[in-house]
Structure 1
Amino acid sequence: MKKHLLFLFLFVGFSMYSQTGSIKGKISENNQPVPAVSIILPALGYTLSADDDGNYDIQNVPFGTYEVIFSSTGLKNERKKVTVDKTTPLVLNITLHEDNTSLDEVVVTGTMKEISRTESPIPVEIITPKLFKKNPTASLFEAVGMVNGVQPQLNCNVCNTGDIHINGMEGPYTMILIDGMPIVSALSTVYGLSGIPNSIVERIEVVKGPASSLYGSEAMGGIINVITKTPTKAPLISADYFVTSWGEQNFDTAVKSKVGSATSLFGLNYFNYSSKVDKNGDNFTDVTLQDRISLFNKWNFERKENRVFSLAARYVYEDRWGGEMNWSKKWRGSDSIYGESIYTKRAELIGLYQLPTTEKIYTQFSYNWHDQNSYYGFTPYMATQQVAFLQTYWDKEFSGGHNFLLGASMRYTVYDDNTPATASPDGLSNEPQKTPLPGLFIQDEWKINEQHKVLGGYRFDYDKNHGSVHSPRVAYKFAPNTNNVIRASFGTGFRVVNLFTEDHAALTGAREVVIAEKLNPERSFNGNLNYVKKITTDFLSIGLDITGFYSYFTNKIVGDFDTDPNKIIYDNLKGHAISQGVSLNTDLTFTFPLKVLAGISYMDVFQMEDKNGTGRLERSQQLHAPKWSGTFVATYTFPKGVSIDLTGNWYGPMRLPILPKDYRPEYSPWFCIANVQLTKKFTYGLEFYGGVKNILNFVPDDPILRPFDPFDKNVNDPVNNPNGYTFDPSYNFASMQGRRVFLGVRYNLF
C-alpha cells in the first residue's frame, strides 16, 4: 500500500512539474510590426526570433514565473514578468520604442557624469548605430557627418586625410574622446575616427562649443565622444560586411564572452580598397588606396556594490597611398613618380576604476602610442607620439539640489619627428618635445527646482611654455514643462598647438612651411542659446531644436596660402576671428511608418586681420566653412521587414585655397551628396541591405593643379606656365568618388 501511495505522489508531482504552457504575441513599433526581434527567457535559456510579421510563439514553457526580454538593434529593450499557469497560450503583445528618440537617453559628455539628456543643462546631440546604419560607412569619420553642423572635411586630394569641423571651425578645435578619454589628439587627429569598429559603438555624443573647463586643451570648438558598448549589454555575436562597386570592402564583427566574473567584448574591423581609379583623367588616383585593420577588446569586471571597473585596448594598422597611377612602393620617397604613402601604427589603453570607498571617487586612465612613417612625394615625415593621461574625480550630491564634481588630471605628451619642430636650438641634434599638462577642475550642477537648473565650472591648467590657463563656464536650463526647454551657456577655451601634427597641408604638395614667430596658445570665448520644442498632433509628432552660437577667437593660428604660392606661412592672427550662426534640427514621426530627420545651419565664420600693419582690420572668410549646409534622413518602413532610407548632406558655397591668378573659382558650387538604401530584415537577427551612394554623381572639377608636374620641375617655363602655377592638391571640398552601388549583410545574435 505504501508503495502505491508513493508511486501516486510521484506521478502527481511529476505531472504537475511537467505541465507546460506557451507565450505568444505580436511585437510592434508605431503600430507597425517589427520583424526579427530576439525573445529571451534567461531562466530557461530559451532564445528565438519573431517572424517577418512580428509574431512569436514560445512553446513548452514549464509552469512558473519568468522574465521575458525583447531586444532589437536600435530599439529599447523591453522586459516583462509573466506567470505561466495554464495550458492555454498566454498572449503578450509588446510595443518597442526607438533608442535615439527616447526622452530618457543618458548622456555623459556635457557634464562628465551620467544624466538624462533632457535634464542636461548642456545640449548634447546623439548618433546611435541605428542612425548611421541608414548610410553604412567604413569609418565613423564619415558617419558623424549625419549631425547637422558637423562636417567631415578632406584636406588633401592625394592622401585623403581629413578632419572634422564643428560649426565651421577647423579640425584641431574638435576634441575626439573614446569613452570620455582624450586619446585621439595631435598626431592622430586626422585618423581619429578611422578604424573604430562600428560593432562596438553604443552611441556618439556631440557637444558644440568650448568644453575646456572639463576637458582642457583642444576642446575649443566642441567634443565628439565615442561611447563603446558595455560588454554585458552587447549581443553575443554581431557581424557586418559590405562591398561597393568601386571595390571597397569592409568587415566589422564583435563577439561577447564571459570569463568568471568578467565579461569581454572583442571587436575587429578590416577595410580594404585596392582599386586604382582615375575617372577625371588627371593621372592621379581619385581615392586613396587603403589597407586597414583594427582590433578592440573591452572588459567589464563585476565588483561588490556594483562598483565600476572596465578596461579596453585597441590596435590599428593602416597602409594608405595615393598618387600617380603608375606609382608603386619602389618609388616611395623618390622624385620620379609622385605618391603620398603613409604607414600608421597605433595602440591605445583605456581604463575606469571606482575606488572602494563610501564616496563616489573614480579614476580614469589612458595611454596611446602612435607611429607614422610617411612620404609626401620625396618629403619624409617620420613621427611618434606617446600620450599618458590620468584623472581622478569625486562625484558628490549635497543637500539643496547641488551635484558636485571635483577632480585633478595630468596629461603627459612625448612627441618626436624629423622636422624643425623637434630640432635643438642649434639645429644640430634632435630633442623630442615633452609636455606635461596638469590641471584641476570643479563643477557644481545646481537643481534649483523642477524648472530651473544652473551649472558652473572652472578649470585651471599649467603649461610649461605658456604658464597658467583659466577656463570658466556657466550654463542655465529652464524647462517650464516637458514640451519646452531653453538652455543658455557661456564658456572659454584654450588650445596649445603642435603645428606639424595637426596640418598635413604643411607636408603635402610642394609648398614650404614658414613659421613667422613663436606661436602663442589660442583663446576663445563662446556663447550658445538653445531651444527645444515638442509638438504632438493626431497624426504627427514634431521635435524642434534650434541653437544660436557665437565664438570669438584671439591668437588664432592661421595658415596664409595666398601671399606666396610656394609657401604656407603660419602666424598668430593679428586681430580676431569669429564663428557665429544658427542651426535648426527637426524630427518628424508620423502615425504611418514614415520618419524624417532634417537639419539646416547658417554659419558666418571669418577673421579680421591687420594684414599691412596699418591698424586697419580686413575681413576674410574662413576656408572650407560654407554659410549654408544641411542634413536629411527619411525612413519608410514597409510590411514584412522591408525599409527604405534616403540620407544626404548638402552644402552651399565654401571658400577654397586658390593660387594667384588661379583659373578655378574661389568658391565651390552648391552641391548635395545623397544616398538611398533598401533593407530587408529576416528572422534570427539576419538582414540584407543595398543601395546607391552619391546618386547625383557629384564630383569636384580640377582638384589638382598641374598634376603632370608634381615635383615642379618645369614650373619656371614662361611659355608653358606663364602664370607661375605650382603643383597643388589642396583645392578640395568633396570626395572624388562618384556614384557607386553597395551591398551588405548584417547579423546579430543576442
Structure 2
Amino acid sequence: YGAMDSRVNIRGLERGSLVLVNGVPMNLNGKGGLSSIPTGSIERVEVLKGAASALYGSDAMSGVINVITKTPTKEGGSATVGFGNMGSQTYKINYGTPRFLIGVERNFFGAQDPETPIRSDIGGYARGYEYYTARDKGNSLGLFMSGKLNDKLTLNFSRFEGNSSFAQLSTETNPIKQKLHSTTYAYHDTKNNVSLSYKDRNTTGTLFYNDRDLYGKSRVHSKKAYTVSDNNYIARQYGFDVQHEWDFRDGKDYLIAGILGKRETYKTTAGPYYGNPHRNSLAFYGTYSRQFNPKWTGILGLRYSDIKDPVRNQKVLTPQFQLQHRINKESSMYMNVGKAFRMPNLSDTFKKINKGYASVSGRNLKPEEGWNYELGYKHITDKDNWKVAAFYMDFKNFFSWKPDSNGKNTIRVNGGRYRNVGIEAQYGRKLTDHLKMTVGASYSNPKQREIDKTYWKQANPKLQFTGGLHYNSSTWTAGTSINFVTKRMKNRDGGTNPNLVAWNAYVGYQFNENSSLRLDARNLLNRHNVISNGDWEYWDEPFNYQLSYTQKF
C-alpha cells in the first residue's frame, strides 16, 4: 500500500529481481509491480534463480520472475464473490475464448491498527517521541485483456488502480503534541501495461509500454488541509525486443540472437525543476547451446548494453556460462557462472534541495555489478523430485545513501559491497493420486559492507524452512503451507526481528461442474509476523479469512 511495492527476495536480494509478464519486462524505477495482473488471469509463475543479465539485461541480478497468463482453449468464464473478516471483499469476473481473454478483479481491505509495534527510534532516526503505524481501509482494481489479432500477433493490456492510506501516530499523552506529531498519508496509484507480441516459427518480437502514476498527500493531525507530496511521480518505459533462433545438427545445438531497445522516463509531478530524467538503452545479446555428447551440454551467453544515462553513460558486457551433465533419465547436474548488473533508479539521479530538485553531485554513479556462481543437482521422477543448489554471489558498487547539507540521507552513491554464500534444497513427493507434499530449506550468509566501512553486517535472514501439503479430488480441494524464517536482522530500534512463522490453509468444495465454495485462512497462529527486513518493522495481518463462491458459465 502507499508508495511501497511488493518485493521479490531471491537469495537475499530484495531489489535484484526482474519481473516479466509473458516475457515482457515490468520493472519501473527499480520496482517490479507484481500487483498489476489480476490473479484470476494468471496461469502459472516461473522462477529462474541466479544472475541472468546475459539474456535479460539490467535488474536480473538474483533471478527472474515470469508471470504467464491464461490462454483459454474454449469459450467460457467465471464469476467469484468473496467476503471475510477485517473488511475484506473480493469480486472477480473472467471470460475467455481461444482468441480473447478478459479478467477484472476488485478488492477491498479493512483497517489494521496497529500495524507496527510502538517505535522508539534511536540514532539518526530519533524523533524525540514514540509512535506506531496504522493502516486505514483501502481498495484496488485490476484489469487484464488479451486478444489474438491473428495467428501471429497478440495484444495484451493490463491496468491497476489502488487507493490506500496509513498513519504514523504519536503515543504522547499531551493531546496537542500528539496531534502535532501524528500524520496521515493517502495515496492513489495507477499502473498501465501494453504489449504487442509477434511470433512466427523461430522469430519473436515485442513492442511494450509500461507506466506508473503515483499521487500522494499527507495531513498533520493538528491541521485540516492535506499537503501534496513532493515525491509524486510518473514513470514510463517503452521499447522493443526482437530475437531469432537457429537450430543446428538436427536440433542438438541452437543459437538465439536478439536486440532490445528501450527508453525510460521519470517525471516528478510536484518538483519545480530537474525532475524529468530519462535513459535510453540498446542491447545486443546471444546464447549458443552446444551438445558435446548425449550427457554433456554447454551454453554460452553474452550481452552488450549501450546505455545513455543522465548521470553517466555505460557500456556493459555481461557473459554467462552453463554446463549441464545428464547422469541418467531422471538425474542431472549443472553449473552456472554469470555476471549481472543493475542500473541506478532514475529517481536516484537527483536530490531534493529546499523542496526542489537538483542533479546529483559528481558524475560517478555506476551500476551495481558482480558475479553469481551456482552448482546444482536435480532428480525428477513421476513419484518425487529433489532439487539442491549451492551458490556464491559477489557484487560491488552496491547503492548506498549519503547525507545532504541538512543531514538527511538523500544522495545516492556507490560504495557498498554484497556477498552471499548458501545452499538450498527442495523435495516434493506424490503421496497418493490425490495428495502431494513439498518441503524445502535454505541456509545462507548474506552480508553487506556499507560505504566507508571496514566491517560486514548481516543483510537478510539466514535460515528458512518451507512446507506444504495439498489434496485434490473431484469434490474436495484442501491444503496448508508454512514458512519459517529465523536468524534475522536488527531493526531500527536496535532489537532483532523475531522469527517469522506464517501458517496458511485453504479448503474448497465442488458442488457440481460449475459451482464451488472455498475458504482461505491466513496467519492461523495469529502472530505479529514481521514481514519486512532491516530498519523498518511492519507486521503481517493478524489471523484473517475469506469465504468465496465461484460460478462458471
> Once the 2 structures are TM-superposed, how far is the Cα of residue 211 of structure 1 from its aligned partner?
0.9
Q: Which one of 477, 500, 503 corresponds to residue 671 of structure 1?
A: 500
Range that drifts further, 690-699 or 587-596: 587-596
Matched, 1:386 2:236: yes
CA distance in 1, matches of 2:443, 2:74: 39
Change (3 A) 1:195 1:429: closer
Matched, 1:294 2:294: no
CA distance in 2, matches of 1:342, 1:657: 26
Q: Which one of 219, 225, 237 corresponds to residue 60 of structure 2?
A: 219
SS for the counterpart of 2:185 is strand
Matched, 1:692 2:521: yes
For 1:123, the equivalent position in structure 2 comes to none
Change (3 A) 1:249 1:606: same
> Once the 2 structures are TM-superposed, how far is the Cα of residue 418 of structure 1 from its aligned partner?
5.3
Q: Which one of 201, 217, 223 corresponds to residue 42 of structure 2?
A: 201
Change (3 A) 1:682 1:381: same
Q: Which one of 248, 260, 284 corresponds to residue 398 of structure 1?
A: 248
> Once the 2 structures are TM-superposed, how far is the Cα of residue 560 of structure 1 from its aligned partner?
7.1
Residues 253 and 269 in structure 1, CA contact (< 8 A), matched pair in contact too? yes
CA distance in 1, matches of 2:535, 2:161: 28
CA distance in 1, matches of 2:135, 2:238: 34
CA distance in 1, matches of 2:481, 2:531: 27
For 1:467, the equivalent position in structure 2 comes to 314
For 1:352, the equivalent position in structure 2 comes to 197
- Please list the CA deviations of residues 144-165 of structure 1 after superposition, one character each: whole Å capped at 9, or x if unmatched: xxxxxxxxxxxx9x86644221
> Once the 2 structures are TM-superposed, how far is the Cα of residue 684 of structure 1 from its aligned partner?
1.6
Larger Rg: 1
Change (3 A) 1:649 1:183: same
TM-score of the two chains, using structure 1 as the length reference = 0.63
Matches within 5 A, 1:401-416: 401-416=252-267
Matched, 1:338 2:183: yes
CA distance in 2, matches of 1:501, 1:267: 35
SS for the counterpart of 1:170 is coil
Matched, 1:496 2:343: yes
SS for the counterpart of 1:684 is coil
Q: Which one of 15, 19, 32 corresponds to residue 176 of structure 1?
A: 19
CA distance in 2, matches of 1:552, 1:730: 20
Q: Which one of 622, 628, 636 corresponds to residue 463 of structure 2?
A: 628
Residues 419 and 446 in structure 2, CA contact (< 8 A), matched pair in contact too? yes
- Please list the CA deviations of residues 295-347 of structure 1 after superposition, one character each: whole Å capped at 9, or x if unmatched: 111012443xxxx3211111221111111589xxxxxxx97751222211222
> Once the 2 structures are TM-superposed, how far is the Cα of residue 680 of structure 1 from its aligned partner?
1.1
Matched, 1:526 2:363: no
For 2:121, the equivalent position in structure 1 comes to none
Tell me which of the two structures has the higher relative contact order, counting C-alpha pairs closer than 8 angstroms and 6 or more residues apart.
1
SS for the counterpart of 2:55 is helix
Change (3 A) 1:620 1:641: same
Matched, 1:437 2:273: no
Aligned residues: 514
Residues 344 and 372 in structure 1, CA contact (< 8 A), matched pair in contact too? yes
Change (3 A) 1:195 1:390: closer
- Please list the CA deviations of residues 72-117 of structure 1 after superposition, one character each: whole Å capped at 9, or x if unmatched: xxxxxxxxxxxxxxxxxxxxxxxxxxxxxxxxxxxxxxxxxxxxxx
CA distance in 1, matches of 2:375, 2:50: 11
> Once the 2 structures are TM-superposed, how far is the Cα of residue 206 of structure 1 from its aligned partner?
0.6
> Once the 2 structures are TM-superposed, how far is the Cα of residue 701 of structure 1 from its aligned partner?
8.2
Change (3 A) 1:184 1:686: farther
- Please list the CA deviations of residues 481-526 of structure 1 after superposition, one character each: whole Å capped at 9, or x if unmatched: 1221111111111111116479xxx99xxxxx99786421111201
CA distance in 2, matches of 1:675, 1:702: 15
Change (3 A) 1:274 1:605: same
CA distance in 2, matches of 1:234, 1:169: 41
For 1:618, the equivalent position in structure 2 comes to 455
CA distance in 2, matches of 1:236, 1:592: 28
CA distance in 2, matches of 1:520, 1:406: 27
Change (3 A) 1:313 1:600: same
What fraction of aligned residue pairs are identical, expressed as a percent? 19
> Once the 2 structures are TM-superposed, how far is the Cα of residue 605 of structure 1 from its aligned partner?
0.7
Higher strand share: 2
Change (3 A) 1:649 1:684: same
CA distance in 2, matches of 1:529, 1:588: 23
CA distance in 2, matches of 1:588, 1:620: 38
Matched, 1:589 2:430: yes
Change (3 A) 1:501 1:743: farther
**Unaligned segments of structure 2, at least 5 residues:** 119-130, 171-178, 220-226, 353-357
For 1:81, the equivalent position in structure 2 comes to none
Matched, 1:480 2:327: yes
Matches within 5 A, 1:544-559: 544-559=386-401
CA distance in 1, matches of 2:457, 2:468: 34
> Once the 2 structures are TM-superposed, how far is the Cα of residue 252 of structure 1 from its aligned partner?
2.4
Change (3 A) 1:234 1:519: farther
Residues 112 and 541 in structure 2, CA contact (< 8 A), matched pair in contact too? no
Change (3 A) 1:470 1:184: same
For 1:233, the equivalent position in structure 2 comes to 73
Residues 487 and 531 in structure 1, CA contact (< 8 A), matched pair in contact too? yes
For 1:118, the equivalent position in structure 2 comes to none
For 1:122, the equivalent position in structure 2 comes to none
SS for the counterpart of 1:366 is strand
- Tell me the amino acid that sits aligned with residue 370 of structure 2: S
CA distance in 1, matches of 2:483, 2:263: 38
TM-score of the two chains, using structure 2 as the length reference = 0.84
SS for the counterpart of 1:601 is strand
For 1:373, the equivalent position in structure 2 comes to 215
> Once the 2 structures are TM-superposed, how far is the Cα of residue 412 of structure 1 from its aligned partner?
0.7
CA distance in 1, matches of 2:322, 2:551: 43
Residues 276 and 285 in structure 1, CA contact (< 8 A), matched pair in contact too? no
> Once the 2 structures are TM-superposed, how far is the Cα of residue 166 of structure 1 from its aligned partner?
0.7
CA distance in 1, matches of 2:3, 2:534: 10
- Please list the CA deviations of residues 451-491 of structure 1 after superposition, one character each: whole Å capped at 9, or x if unmatched: 22221110000112333100111112111212211111111
